[in-house]
Structures are given as C-alpha cells and as structure tokens.
Chains A and B, each alone.
Chain A
Amino acid sequence: AQSVTQPDIHITVSEGASLELRCNYSYGATPYLFWYVQSPGQGLQLLLKYFSGDTLVQGIKGFEAEFKRSQSSFNLRKPSVHWSDAAEYFCAVAQGQKVTFGIGTKLQVIP
C-alpha cells in the first residue's frame, strides 16, 4: 500500500528566507506525486504535480519540487518565502483515482 511521510509537522521561516518541505513516499510503481496547499478554513489548492519527465517541476506561486527516485522523495522548495505563504502543505501520491495524503506541514512565516 502506498504511504506518504511528511516528517516536519511545523516549520517556521523568516519572510524572504528559502523554504524546503520534505516528503517521502512509499509506492511500488512509478508514483504520481502532488503538493497541495490549504489556507485556514479553505479547501486544498494544487501547487504542482509530477507524473514523468523532468524531475524538477515548477508550480504556481513560485514553488518547485524535485522528484528523486533514489531517495523516494518529492521535496517542495521556494527560494524566497512571502508572508502569504503561511498555510498547511500536503504532499500526496495517487494510485488510480485514490489519492493518499501526508499528515501535512504547517508553515509559519515570521517578519
């Protein structure tokens, strides 16, 4: 069965600093990987997704993620964080129509 691990439950970064959110997955076949963002009281919004091809994928809001098969990782990065990026971020893997989500990482941005 597939699983997703987000080892960091809370992360605090200063505005303007770089960000990396970790995600590790367990899946037998080629994974279909996603990052979603959830603002308080809102639904999830897709940031980016990886299916095949270039292992560095670009998403919305200046985010990118790199797929590393050898490490079973799909870490999310942003070179310079803005206060509006404060939210909860979920990594997910798809198997058919069923998407398995990680527990989420809450990002706090301080001035």
Chain B
Amino acid sequence: NAGVMQNPRHLVRRRGQEARLRCSPMKGHSHVYWYRQLPEEGLKFMVYLQKENIIDESGMPKERFSAEFPKEGPSILRIQQVVRGDSAAYFCASSERQGFGNEQFFGPGTRLTVL
C-alpha cells in the first residue's frame, strides 16, 4: 500500500507564474489536508477536503490560492501569480475517516521556490 504521493517534489516558478501541486492520498483514504511550512516555522493548516467538497478552508489565503479534490484523480493545490513569499514546503496528508484521532499520514512534500 503506497503512502501519500506528492508531485513534483521540487518546483521552481518565477514571480507571476502559476504553481500546481498534486497529492494522491493513500489507498482507501477520502480525506485530504494541505499544510504549508515556511522556513523555520511549523506546519500551518491550509485546507481540508473530501471528495468533491471543501470542508474547511480557514487556513487558505483569501486570494490566489485554491484547492480541489475531484471525484477522480489527485487533489490539487493551485497558487496563481506566485510571489516570493509563497516559497515554502507544502505538505499533503490523508486520513481514512473523519474525527478526532484519525491519524493523518503525510506525504514527502513539495518544495516550492519562487524566483
């Protein structure tokens, strides 16, 4: 059973370009979470999705950021018109069920560098 897959592992973009980060949850997991880790900081929650639904996006910046988890295919975190401050590691996690205590399994992350 493969773990959470994220691609690309490293992504370089110039200011103003778009970044698309992909996350394939573990087999059988229908809950996906995105976190951002800025340099020298802990992970910050961004968004929680189930298939075709955004459940909690309270950690998402109001502009330029969006996320989806379609019925088929991976979850996508999209950042439009990237700026240098978007440079960070973006981690995806998945869980089998909702509720307290359901372990979130983390992917290896995508490290975004904005030039």
Contact = CB atoms under 8 A, between A and B. Distances in A.
Contacts of A45: 106
Contact of B56 (A36, A42, A97, A104): A97
B95 to A, nearest CB: 8
A97 B48 contact: yes
Interface residues of B, number: 30
Given A51-B101, A94-B100, A103-B42, A43 B91 contact: yes
Nearest to A30: B100
Interface residues of A, number: 23
B100 A51 contact: yes
Interface in B24-47: 31, 33, 35, 40-45
A104 B40 CA distance: 8
Please indicate which of the listed interface residues B56, B93, B98, B106 has the most CB atoms of chain A within 10 Å of its own CB.
B106
Interface string A75-111: 0000000000000001000101111111110000000
Contact of B4 (A6, A43, A49): A43
Contacts, number: 62
B1 interface: no
B103 interface: yes
Contacts of A51: 100-101
B84 to A, nearest CB: 22
A98 B4 contact: no
B101 A90 contact: no
B55 interface: yes
A32 interface: yes
A41 B100 contact: no
5 contacts: A4-B42, A43-B91, A97-B95, A102-B42, A103-B41
Interface of A: 4, 6, 32, 36, 41-46, 49, 51, 90, 94, 96-104
